[in-house]
Structure 1
Amino acid sequence: MKTPFRSEDRAPAAPGRFRTVWRAAHEPVPGVSRRTRVLAYAVPFTVLPAGLWRLPAAFDAGIGIGERAYVVFLSLFSEAVAFTAIGLVARWGEVVPAWVPVLRGRRIPPAAVLVPAALGSTALTLLWTVLALTAQVMGTTIRGDALPSDVPSESGGWEAAVFYVCYAPLVLWGPLLGVLTVAYGRRRVGGGRRGTAGP
């Protein structure tokens, strides 16, 4: 005689698996201060508004399939790169996750994280915090050319306001990544409790 199917025999629901993955991706390692965690979690949100602002362009009737794919790819790629900042406070930034073949469970050398994080922070600060901000104040492109009349910042009204609201947070991306990089270096290279306080 077959046993009746009970609800507890079912496989776990997808939301439970998603929650587990989410926690594993965001759970900080011991020694990371609450303020440092907040800064790390804020980084993807500095990039998200610009990505969302760009996405409608992918559905514009006036552009080709290649441009559509580029707009979507750029938005998703930017967000994925921004998410790596969380690795500076999470376990997967210190130990290779279990789902990675061959290398799983191995400790990541600090330099393998610090060098790309420092270079990324420098490049992003130069691009978005220095050059883009200076270009906006001067009313030019990053190369110093005059702004075309069809750029969103020159359109005026609500379109320009939405553009600035969406792109302004990018100014923080590089500096936040820099602060997180320093905190990571102090924690992993500075050694022990001395380097765990963070910013």
Structure 2
Amino acid sequence: MWAERVAHAIPLVALPVCIWRLPVIGHGMGGEPLAPTAGHIAYVVALSVLSELAALLSFGLVRAWGERIPAWVPRLGGRRIPPAAALVPATIGGLLLTAALGLWLYNALAIGTDAWPYAPGWNILAMTVSGLMNLWGPMLLLLTYAYYHRRVTAVRIKT
């Protein structure tokens, strides 16, 4: 199924930017040395980890745990999740991420590599990894549509 492949691709398109951020810990992206604080390091690592965890949540739109609360959850296990509980946040997230794609496209096309404040040569890499991550929004909207079609439209057809 195509939606399953899209769900697998989302964490992969987010991963390069998560890895790209990590050199900030010792060196800036582009080679200039930095002296980051412990708070800065924690922020960059947490942002990368949370980005990947958020990307992995897209599997809920194609897996059973996105339709029913897992049985191991006390008192709620096995209950059906209302479609809106997944559709609303997924739609909002997809639209916000797609808006970020619009900003990225503007910077990439109107300003060019000067939009990224990195050393020469590093700008192309910055554009590439951030461009990949910006595919997340439209991909999430595709998954949201597939979830809607499977959960809401299929119920209407059966009744």
What range is the shorter-chain TM-score in? 0.7 to 0.9
Q: Rate the CA distance shift 1:97–1:138 in 2: closer, same or farther, 3 A.
A: same
**Map 1:1-199 → 2, pairs under 5 A:** 34-60=1-27, 61-127=34-100, 129-139=101-111, 147=115, 151-152=117-118, 155-157=119-121, 159-191=122-154
Equivalent pairs counted in the alignment come to: 151
| C-alpha RMSD of matched pairs (Å) | 2.2
Q: Following TM superposition, by how much is the alpha carbon of 1:73 offset from its aligned partner in structure 2, in angstroms?
A: 0.5
Name the CA distance, whole Å, in 1 between partners of 2:126 and 2:53. Answer: 21
**TM-score of the pair, normalised by structure 1:** 0.69
Q: Rate the CA distance shift 1:104–1:166 in 2: closer, same or farther, 3 A.
A: same
Q: Say if 2:104 and 2:131, in contact at 8 Å, map to a contact too.
A: no
* Higher radius of gyration, 1 or 2: 1
Whose helix fraction is larger, Structure 1's or Structure 2's? 2
Q: Following TM superposition, by how much is the alpha carbon of 1:132 offset from its aligned partner in structure 2, in angstroms?
A: 1.7
Aligned residue for 1:63, secondary structure, equals coil
Aligned residue for 1:138, secondary structure, equals helix
Name the CA distance, whole Å, in 2 between partners of 1:66 and 1:39. Answer: 34
**TM-score of the pair, normalised by structure 2:** 0.86
Instruction: State the identity %.
Output: 41
Aligned residue for 2:65, secondary structure, equals helix
Q: Rate the CA distance shift 1:59–1:106 in 2: closer, same or farther, 3 A.
A: farther
Q: Following TM superposition, by how much is the alpha carbon of 1:102 offset from its aligned partner in structure 2, in angstroms?
A: 2.7
Could you tell me which runs of 5 or more consecutive residues in structure 1 were left unpaired when the two chains were aligned: 1-33, 141-145
Q: Following TM superposition, by how much is the alpha carbon of 1:185 offset from its aligned partner in structure 2, in angstroms?
A: 0.4
Regions of 4+ moved over 3 Å = 192-195
Could you tell me which runs of 5 or more consecutive residues in structure 2 were left unpaired when the two chains were aligned: 28-33
Deviation string for 1:138-185 (max 9, x for gaps)?
228xxxxx857xx12xx222x223222321212211100001101100
Aligned residue for 1:178, secondary structure, equals helix
